[in-house]
Amino acid sequence: MNDTFPYGWDGNGRYLLHNGVDSAEAMGTAVLAAADGLVVYAGPDAEAWFGWRCDWYGHLVIIRHDMTWQGQPVYSLYGHVLGITVETGQRVVQGEQVAEIGVGGAATSPHLHFEVRIGDNAFGATRNPMLWVGPGETRGVLAGRLVDPDGRPWQGVTVTLVDGRDGQTQFLNTWTYLDDPDHLINPDEGYAENFVFSDLLPGVYTLYVKVQDVEYRQAITITAGELSQAEIITGPRLSETPAE
């Protein structure tokens, strides 16, 4: 999955905070069930409230998976789809086609909006889907934390993964999760991450951030088929007066 709009980001204020990931694909591309489960909704949301408003996803499919996580149900959601081939109440197996890539609702170009919801089938119950999509046998995932010395996450900071594996340096960017008053963006309880890079070829990379004019670098090894973790702890926040 090629994530073109990461979780917890608002595109520099151009969009509402993103509680899924987007993958731009051609119209009509098959959308497949992420895992076995039961279709709990398939259809339009013109008169149903699943997102920020009605008609947010256009048409969508939601699957409640057979697996649970820490005793809680796990849902996956496929938004802006067309050509839905399943019905509410129907069982599906992993890899089964449920719809096609489409456009509709808040989407202005064809793409899949993919969400993972934990516990509740609710807009505020999402996690970063890239932690839930297996990296495959040839790729790896990096879940990272960028925090201050008190463990508080930095928000909206550009994080760069420098790929110098083949001698030709490439720069991959993402952003640390933003928060909002409704707390719609949730780190994983175990990783406590605030940024994720996915679909990475194995090798050694350099993680780079600049916070309050200080640069931080860290070498990161990505292993095929695995999730790697990184943590960068910055200096204290300069703009704040000490707590009394």
Please choose, out of 14-22, 142-150, 172-180, 215-223, the segment that lies near Zn ion by the rule CB under 5 A: 14-22
The residue (of 27 and 93) whose beta carbon lies closer to Zn ion is 27
Q: Does position 22 bind Zn ion by CB under 5 A? A: yes
Least distance (Å) between residue 211 CB and Zn ion: 27
Least distance (Å) between residue 113 CB and Zn ion: 3
Least distance (Å) between residue 18 CB and Zn ion: 6
Least distance (Å) between residue 31 CB and Zn ion: 13
The residue (of 198 and 228) whose beta carbon lies closer to Zn ion is 198
Least distance (Å) between residue 24 CB and Zn ion: 10
The residue (of 22 and 45) whose beta carbon lies closer to Zn ion is 22
Nearest residue to the partner Zn ion, using Cβ: 113
R_g of the chain, CA atoms, integer Å: 19
The amino acid at residue 185 is I
CA distance 206 to 226: 18
Q: Does position 163 bind Zn ion by CB under 5 A? A: no
Q: Does position 113 bind Zn ion by CB under 5 A? A: yes
Please choose, out of 13-21, 81-89, 156-164, 191-199, the segment that lies near Zn ion by the rule CB under 5 A: 13-21
Chain residues in the site for Zn ion (CB under 5 A): 20, 22, 113
